Amino acid sequence: MTESQTQPPSPNRRRIVGTTALGVSAGLAAGLAAGVALALPPKSAPIPPQPGRRRFEGKVVAITGATSGIGRAAAIQFAAEGGKVAFCGRRSALGAEVEHEIKEAGGQALYVKADVLVEDEVRGFIDRAVGAFGRLDVAFNNAGITIEKPLHEYSAEEWDAVNNTNLRGVFLAMKYEIPYMLKAGGGTIVVTSSSNAIATQAKRSAYSAGKRGLVGLVQAAALDYAQQGIRINTLIPGTTDTPFLRKAAGMENVPDAVWRVGLNQWVKSNVPGIGRLATAEEVAALALALASDEHPFMTGAQIVLDGGKTAKAG
């Protein structure tokens, strides 16, 4: 009997997240009211440069959590630079959309429905990626969730849902990615952590514990494989403007224009430094840089992209 077969059933994350208020929800609600009253437009983010490079020509890339947000942006960017992209996620319709978009643009992609909570599905995803494209050169382990509440209010199920996704899920992905990279003679792995690993807030104990744990996991694993041609680094983004942020804040059904005005107001009071959220495309662009061959001496590092958030906190 395998480890995944002996585990208790995984919790229903849709139910858990649906019953939990994110720390930003109240602030966003207030921002909506103030923003509508003041009719302030949202601040638009600059679009990252498009260099047209082909850094991943002929390379095989595996991405977890790529049906939306940062993972989706990364899948599209890796494919645009010549990568053969295999990616997973739980939402089949969104996965099919991303795969179609990449193929329509002339890229190569394979979507596999898989949940990083389930070991057999993680192993199956990596095996299918290699089966389809012949090898594995790059991995971007990005899947993650959050539940926010005071520590004593977490159920054990909720705590496990967050940390088994964010921390154990990365362990499982690396466990099955690394043997293929060793066989290929090397590779690069990028892991998405969070600025909450450096400076966090109330009601984020589960999320912060897992994201800080990823830093230690990457440091140790980087030393395990540094002399075998595998580089492993941690990407630490600040709050990023993705559909998950809107859903977790309970604002999916609010008109987009109203959401943007309210979000803009919340950002003015809660986001130091540059004073806006990151875009998924900006974070993905840094993931590509870390995964490329441009920095061959970098391993075990934590690269922060947060617009100055943790600089103020420090």
pLDDT above 90 (res 13): no
Residue 252 lies in a domain: no
pLDDT-based confidence at residue 205 (cuts at 50, 70, 90): very high
Selection from 290, 188, 187 nearest residue 237 by Cα: 290
| CATH code of 187's domain | 3.40.50.720
Residue 17 lies in a domain: no
Query: Does an H or E element contain 306, and which?
Result: none
Choose between 245 and 296: higher pLDDT: 296
Q: Spot the catalytic one: 111, 154, 180, 207.
A: 207
Domain count, the chain: 1
pLDDT-based confidence at residue 32 (cuts at 50, 70, 90): very low
Q: State the chain's mean pLDDT as an integer.
A: 86
Residue 35 lies in a domain: no
Identify the domain containing residue 100 by its residue range: 54-238+280-300
Per-residue pLDDT tens digits for 124-166 = 999 999 999 999 999 999 999 999 899 999 999 999 999 999 9
Residue 262 lies in a domain: no
Per-residue pLDDT tens digits for 86-124 = 999 999 999 999 999 999 999 999 999 999 999 999 999
DSSP H helical ranges for 54-133? 69-80, 92-104, 119-133
Residue 128 lies in a domain: yes
Residue 266 lies in a domain: no
- Cα distance between residue 229 and residue 141, in whole Å: 18
- Concerning whether 207 is annotated as a catalytic residue, the answer is yes
Is the distance from CB of 287 to CB of 259 less than 8 angstroms? Answer: no
Residue 87 lies in a domain: yes
Residue 205 lies in a domain: yes
